[in-house]
Amino acid sequence: MTRDADDSFDNASKSIEGSIIQHKLNQVENLKIEKFILPDNSSPGMLEDLCLKSIHTDEISCIEDFFQCIEKSTGRKSKEISKAKIHAWLSTQEHPDKRLGEAAKAGYIDWDNETFKELKKFIKNL
């Protein structure tokens, strides 16, 4: 199972455990259930945070400057800043209309980046 931690890794973990119990998956013989809570199986955040960590520092600096400028000039601050940042980054790619999953399939995300090491290990061990 995978899911985003969002604001709390601990709450996400408890939510998964609750779902397992609610659906009685813990009572199924020979069923092995593994979980990975994004972004890194220990921190709050989401898939977008993990992807942002894999992007070159210069690009991220530009995106952060953009959001600071928008907040300063309009007073608006995104409630889901990681999603907003990844969409801003995606808008600078060759085909700017791709969603994150499409961008990943198109090779925009560097899956060989060290950032994805633990997630890849989790997937390989399934």
Extract the tokens encoding 116: 């994805």
pTM of the shown model: 0.89
Q: Tens digits of per-residue pLDDT, 9-32?
A: 999 999 999 999 999 999 999 999
Handedness of CA 71, 76, 77, 78 (dihedral sign): negative
Please report the pLDDT score of residue 57 as a whole number.
86
Q: Tens digits of per-residue pLDDT, 33-65?
A: 999 999 999 999 999 999 999 998 899 999 999
